[in-house]
Structure 1
Amino acid sequence: MNHEETLMRHAPYYLVTGGMPLRGEVSVSGAKNAVTKMVIASLLTTEQCMLRNVPLLGDLDLTIKLCRELGSQVDLQDHTLTIRTQDCEKRVVSRDVGGLNRICVLAIGPMLHRCGEVTIPAPGGDRIGPRPIDYHLDGLRQMGATIEEREGYFVCSASKRLKGTTIKLPFPSVMATENFLITASLAKGVTVIENAANEPEIIDLIKLLQKMGAIIELQVDRRIVVEGVESLRGASHTLLSDRNEAVSLAVATYLTRGDVYLRLAQQDTLLTFLNTLSKMGLCFEIDDEGIRFIGDDRPPPAIALETDVHPGFMTDWQQPFTILLTQANGMSVVHETIYEDRFGYTSALIGMGAHIGLYPKCLGEVPCRFKGKQYMHSCVVRGPTPLKGTRLYIPDIRAGCSYILAALCAEGTSQVYGIEHIERGYEQLDVKLRGLGARIERVEGEPA
């Protein structure tokens, strides 16, 4: 038995039996990609902040541990979180807390504002290709931070108040934009973020910061202007719903030929996804409370799809949609322009019977950073193809959800390992699917 087999033997996994149509109603949780940034933003003030519609998931747990390590008092009741950081008791983030994802990078600005220094570990995260933090460090240095790398840690300091500046992002990075929004809110003077990302989660973060007293202006051509203030106050905010969870559950509905109403699914955050469904002739109904997705027995037509920065087709939607395209009639093309290595999960789909080919050429029209390079960032899918249940090991959050979707529509039973990735990014996904009629069981591994 090799090392990976030994780990799988002792790890919990999902046992998924395909072929059951999803039917019923379920509520979409709050946005995973918003809650962790808002918790970090609360470090900017000594007053209490309250967040409602908070998703209960692993990434939030890590962020709470990070803040508690720095001195925050945190209370989480049901889906409401209160946090107050009167004093920063510690200025070093341990590797156990900060090395598992990249969220600790966002704590640099608030900590430099609060106490002039902080040390964080080199961050980790999903295995979806290189995700450098150079944009973050370069921008923070422009604002007056001194950052040195020592033995796997970043030692950060500021001898005086961080200052406003003009930061031009080489690419509309979501997390870098969030970092500079948070940091610039208390910087001296005006900060201009050029080529900024403008995802719905960023707009929601801006809403919270404005409630706290920040002055932030959205301008044309991806420019955001932040006028720094002397101090920020506490605030209360209700998070938007998670558009990635909504898409995953919608695709699961079509794959299983079901009929599901997603309460709290928000049309304005899903416009591009819904347009794509309309182009494929897939049925949905929108009302003020949510969206109903209605599958049928007909295979959808093949399409050409390209991911892009918002308001384009979101890169996190690419994986679930590729599963859907294995059941489409004809040859579909998917061109990934955001991450250079996000098709690694397709090898497992091929093992289930999917017909998928990867190519380094740009098979699309969206301007792509990877043109002329040898990254396998275009995908051709031929369908419809019956998928067969198998053993799957999840490499990251989005691919993991896609494996579950594939297992839901496959013949037979699949064992899905690496479920900690799912539980990091989705709130009780298996429970929600069971409530809709899916045959999915969480099985504890053998004792070590």
Structure 2
Amino acid sequence: MEVVLSDVLVVTGGTPLTGEVRVRGAKNLVSKAMVAAVLGHTPSRMFDVPRIRDVEIVRGLLELHGVRVTDGELDGELIFDPSNVERAGIDEINVHAGSSRIPILLCGPLLHRLGHAFIPDLGGCHIGPRPIDFHLEALRQFGAIVDKTPEGLHLSAPNGLHGIKFTLDYPSVGATEQILLTAVLAEGVTELANAAVEPEIVDLICVLQKMGAIIKVHTNRVIEIEGVSRLTGFTHRPIPDRIEAASWASAALATKGDIFVRGARQADMMTYLNVFRSIGGSYEVDDDPVGGGIRFWHPGGDLRPVVIETDVHPGFMTDWQQPLVVALTQANGLSVVHETVYENRFGYTHALNQMGATIQVYAECLGGADCRFGRRGFRHSAVIAGPAKLHAHDLVIPDLRAGFSHLIAALAAEGTSRVHGVDLINRGYEDFEAKLAGLGARTERPVTQAA
């Protein structure tokens, strides 16, 4: 009997990717809006929800806490009824331990609804520690009591939660989300300084505002939240996933292809589009409100090297760099990428070097100003020499975004590669195998003879 080997994809490269893909709601917004639904006392509805693993995980967590989650009539529509929120058992919650970092964001909503919360060990991609210290310190200042135990964190709020003044050392997206989700029902006014202002954060604020929250975003990264006594549900269509859109754009460039990314939005990708054009890629924006998007293609000729520094919004997004580095291996000259968001994000380049790329990583801050990782021994700058002739190799996917970069490299390389751990890509890329097939990629799941 033949059995399909799970979590392995055989990729035969050398074929330009051409055609169309569609991106839906942003992974980094949808999961947070699902958590926000817990704060409401009436049902919420969200459209354009992608079928990805992270959504499944959060759905499971919400259902464990008594939220009724149902599919709507439309494809990608979810309905959340939080009227029966209840405490979930530790053993049940621990089933999800290590699979996502979303549980930490449930702290504020559960404290407001139940007066207590339990958070298991957190997961996510291993690209740096991403400590939750900011989260816990903020929750303590709001009035939460945090008890650390071997199985996780137990939180309670015997005197309720109250507004605070809090300054982030770094504009952390996760910590900003935590404070927003906690402050909207806290008594009094919360002022958050040095906040993250990514498009997904602004969209989360839109969700909370629809629910009845009062939130002011000032021009100096200060967010002011006036607590209210009650929130209702929301109806929302999230912004499109700018990370997935840029990933397909990089795939078009690396494979000398031509991809129309339906749903991609120019306003969210301006920094990426500038770099894409500087490299030598071409793009065209279609502003049709129904079926619009952005077409990305390789116009022929040599690609040009660039110097990039990742940063918080409106800088060049850290999740854009891994797929783009594969395209930079084909540029004629030396490119420099200075990573300032996560200290451990260049581990994936070892596999690219095995495929024929020439990428050196350094502990120094190259290509820009000194950052918080400078002189601390972290290899957070990369120099890419090109053009390189990539050849097939066995690859093991280390994390979500690096995994997509490995997949792009296999598609751009000569020969047939075996990519292991591809199911991890399902965390953030909906139906990626079907999309690849529609673009003309030659991929298949291998089969073996069962014993």
Q: For 2:154, what is the secondary structure of its paired residue?
A: strand
TM superposition shift of 1:286:
0.9
Q: Deviations over 1:117-153 (max 9, x none)?
A: 1111121111112111111000011100000100131
Q: Which residue of 1 aligns with 2:313?
A: 310
C-alpha separation in 2, matches of 1:446 and 1:248:
35
Residues 327 and 134 (structure 1), Cα distance of their counterparts in 2 relative to 1, 3 Å cut: same
Measured after TM superposition, the shift of residue 98 of structure 1 is 3.9
Letter in 2 for 1:190: V
AA aligned opposite 1:51: M
Match of 1:214 in 2: 213
- Give the aligned partner of residue 276 of structure 1: 275
Alignment of 1:435 onto 2:424: no
> Is it true that 1:119 corresponds to 2:139 in the alignment?
no
Instruction: Map 1:218-367; keep pairs closer than 5 Å.
Output: 218-288=217-287, 289-367=292-370
Q: How does 1:76-87 map to 2 (within 5 A)?
A: 76-77=71-72, 78-87=75-84
2:28 is equivalent to residue 33 of structure 1: yes
Find the residue that maps to 2:410 and give its secondary structure. Answer: helix
Report the counterpart of residue 69 of structure 1 in structure 2.
64
The RMSD of aligned alpha carbons is 1.5
Partner of 2:49: 54
Which residue matches 1:142?
Answer: 141
**1:389 matches 2:386:** no
* Deviations, residues 68-124 of structure 1 (Å, cap 9, x unaligned): 001110012430010111122224452112432110000010000011011111211
Q: Distance in 1 between matches of 2:370 and 2:286?
A: 35
Distance of 2:237 and 2:387 partners within structure 1: 41
Matches of 1:251 and 1:106, distance apart in 2:
31
How far apart, CA to CA, are the structure 1 residues paired with 2:96 and 2:189?
Answer: 33
Given the alignment of the two structures, is residue 14 of structure 1 paired with residue 9 of structure 2, yes or no?
yes
Find the counterpart in structure 2 of residue 5 from structure 1. Answer: none
SS at match of 1:272: helix
Distance in 2 between residues matched to 1:130 and 1:314, nearest whole Å? 18
Distance 1:141 1:419 in 2: 39
C-alpha distance in structure 2 between counterparts of 1:442 and 1:180, whole Å:
43
**Pair 1:446–1:66, CA change in 2 (3 A):** farther
Q: CA deviation at 1:65?
A: 0.5
- TM-score (normalised: structure 2): 0.95
Whether 2:23 is the aligned partner of 1:24: answer no
**Alignment partner of 1:97: what SS?**
coil
8 Å Cα contact 2:8/2:418 also seen in 1: yes
Paired letter, 2:180: L
Distance 1:246 1:319 in 2: 13
Give the TM-score, by structure 1 length: 0.96
Distance across 1 between alignment mates of 2:359 and 2:428: 26
How far apart, CA to CA, are the structure 2 residues paired with 1:320 and 1:421?
A: 15
Moved more, 374-383 or 78-87: 78-87
Measured at CA, do residues 446 and 37 of structure 1 come closer, stay the same or move farther in structure 2, by a change above 3 Å?
Answer: farther
Contact 2:400 2:425 in 1 (8 A): yes
State how far apart, in whole Å, the 1-side matches of 2:79 and 2:393 are: 43
